[in-house]
Structure 1
Amino acid sequence: MNILVTGGAGYIGSHTVRALVNKKHRVVVLDNLSKGHPAAVKEIELVRGDTSDRQLLKRLLTGCNIEAVMHFAASSLVGESVRLPSDYYRNNVVNGLTLLDAAVEAGVRYFVFSSTAAVYGEPIEVPITENHPATPLNPYGATKLALEGAMRWYGEAYGLRYTSLRYFNAAGADPAGDIGEDHEPETHLIPLVMKAALGLIPQLEIFGDDYPTPDGTCVRDYIHVNDLADAHILALEAMAGGAGSNIYNLGNGNGYSVLEVIETAKAVTGSSIPVKYAARRAGDPAVLVAGSERIKDELGWRPAFPGLREIIETAWRWHSNHPGGYEK
């Protein structure tokens, strides 16, 4: 199948591109490289451009006979979204609609969307299933939910079939060790723990030690990036096989606290990890754990990396071999 992957040079996008190529799909990557890295998609057709460019989208979608779109391109920092809601609505919603319009016009049949557990907001029950109320606490989650709503109506009006995948905490790296997580600034816990283990930052900041959890730190559900990639392909294959549009959570269903992540990382790296406690961050729920039974039951998805240690081992392989990331 001919597939356009927006944001395909980014962290999750590049791992999905690799999985698609391994499945013999023809992939075209569209990325403005504000966050992505050309080195993450070597030997893949990479077009530098933006989803706001309707004419470029039209040329790519028609000229490459694109049958499916996987849409990763987005602004994704929660704190930044609170400070700059206009930027997030413009990039995640307005540009998302531009992409949907171009896809419909070009006769694209399938659309797989990179969504987020941030659409749920403060959980009222754990694990969180797809039936949990969607009441996002920040513009990032709100903009992802807005595009999900648009996809529903586009599906009804134009026949575009879509799957929205709501990730919990993406982590790890391809076991080959040649592609991985490289953000600037870095806000995710596991890569920050890796940087502390390597001595690249003086200490790891822990936000809050008084949550109603066993050790007082936040609990999160970590899912390996390759397991996310596999879910995208399963979703596409299901739609190509006749399945309708759907929404799925993606997580391992296990919660680990910040301190558990640090202790596991110490065991994997053999390094000390200095920490500094700070006040809670506004909007950080105590516990976020996924209920992912729907995608397991309906698509047969099974995580290949269900344990925290194996996820951290792959992250360590990447970070220890690429302490400066891709291009430094």
Structure 2
Amino acid sequence: MILVTGGAGFIGSHTVRALHGLGEASVVVQRGTGQVPAHLADLPVIAEQADVADLGALRGIGARHRITGIVHLAGYPAPRGTVGGIGATQGLLYGLLNVARVAQEWGVRRVGLASTLGVYSGVETDAPLTEDLPVRLTAPHPIPRSKKIAELLGEQFAEATGVEFVNFRISGTWGPLGHEDPFFAAPALVHAAASGQPLDLSGLLAQPRLGDGLDLCYVKDTGRAIALLQLADNLRHRTYNIASGQVTENADVIAAIRRTVPDAGLELPAGTSRPGAALDITRLHQDTGFEPEYDTTRAAADYIAWLTAGNPR
């Protein structure tokens, strides 16, 4: 049975569903409630209410269930400001420390840690980004900064506990249960097309352009890749890119959306402010057999169908 922290969330819920598809049951940890979320109610999922920063609560879960692996996806709000920032950072660190501690106590074989493509920020290469590229010690945003810290701590915990800690460097992920991400435009474009409302890009950190690109991975593929890595008999590496392996531009996303919603009013300025880079997924493919199942057209159609069925996100 796999403990999935943040298992009711965006990527977490799709990971739980993928684990079920591979024959593995999950215990979903949520801070707010011990009820199984409605979008997972069709699965034999166990839900537990706990904050990963509370060691006693985590230990209680292990007393009630036989946990054989952990996928640690839970996070805290990105640390910003002064007092709030310290509190968020403390929650992140305590949560990670507690996960490592219970993993050792329970004799867990593998802990998967969510990381991000943002750790590659500032790396200059014309080739796809591979996991062995040297990354910069700094980061321009709290999320990749905290993920770099967690990757290093995971290495330390693996050495200290004998438990396998594996980093999942997750690319730009979009799809059902997601949100309008501040880093890329695809979710906002889909929401506008599905709702028929004007395109709202106010939540993005920068004005997107048609030629801006990113390695986009549909969330169902992301969840399946995480599940495959978590359950693999043998992994030869400590870090894996989870991605589509190719760059998708905003123009590609708009073209895919218009195959489902031909009259979608999705206008972006021409040009490129961020060309984007693909993540190399050779390791992932070799060790798990993973291949993306959703190209941009299929992903857009699936996401639009989900939203037009009445789901808010």
TM-score range relative to shorter protein: 0.7 to 0.9
| Count, aligned residues | 300
Match of 1:294, as an amino acid? R
> Is 1:222 equivalent to 2:225 in the alignment?
no
* Aligned-partner Cα distance in 2 for 1:230–1:271: 33
Matches within 5 A, 1:1-328: 2-33=1-32, 38-42=37-41, 43=43, 44-75=45-76, 81=79, 85-125=85-125, 126-135=127-136, 136-172=139-175, 180-183=176-179, 187=182, 189-199=185-195, 201-205=197-201, 207-208=206-207, 217-238=211-232, 241-243=233-235, 246-275=238-267, 285-305=274-294, 307-325=295-313
Write out per-residue CA displacement over residues 259-312 of structure 1, whole angstroms, 9 at most, x where no aligned residue: 3312321222223224466xx9xxx8541321111211233221122x211111
Alignment CA distance shift 1:233-1:139 (3 Å): same
Structure 1 residues 134 and 198: alpha-carbon distance in aligned structure 2, compared to 1, 3 A threshold? same
Between the aligned residues of both structures, percent identity stands at: 23
Deviation of 1:85 after TM superposition, in Å, equals 4.3
Distance (whole Å) between structure 2 residues aligned to residue 264 and residue 131 of structure 1: 33
Whichever residue aligns with residue 163 of structure 1, its letter is V
TM-score (norm 2): 0.85
Distance 1:87 1:168, change over 3 A: farther
The Cα shift of 1:82 comes to: 5.2
C-alpha spacing 1:225/1:199, structure 2 compared with 1 (3 Å): closer
- The secondary structure found in structure 1 opposite 2:198 is coil
SS for the counterpart of 1:123 is coil
Structure 2 CA distance for aligned equivalents of residues 139 and 37 of structure 1:
30
* 2:230 maps to amino acid: L
Gaps of 5+ in 1: 173-179
Amino acid of the structure 2 residue aligned with 1:192: A
Please name the residue that 1:176 is paired with: none
Contact 1:118 1:137 in 2 (8 A): no
- Contact 1:123–1:288 (CA<8 Å) still a contact in 2? no
State TM-score, norm by structure 1: 0.81
* CA spacing shift, 1:186–1:227, aligned 2, 3 Å: closer
AA aligned to 1:290 is L
Assess if the C-alpha contact under 8 Å between 1:93 and 1:143 holds in 2: no
Q: Give the 3 Å change call, closer, same or farther, for CA 51–302 of structure 1 in structure 2.
A: same
Instruction: Report the aligned-residue RMSD.
Output: 2.8
Distance 2:80 2:166 in 1: 27
CA distance in structure 1 between the aligned counterparts of 2:198 and 2:141, rounded to whole angstroms: 30
Question: CA-to-partner distance for each residue in 1:117-165, whole Å, 9 max, x for gaps?
Answer: 1111123014111122222322211111111111111111211112211
Q: Give 2:303's aligned amino acid.
A: A
Residue type at the aligned position of 2:23? K
Unaligned 5+ segments in structure 2 are: none
Amino acid at match of 1:318: W
Aligned-residue offset at 1:189: 2.7
Deviation at residue 67 of structure 1 after TM alignment: 1.0
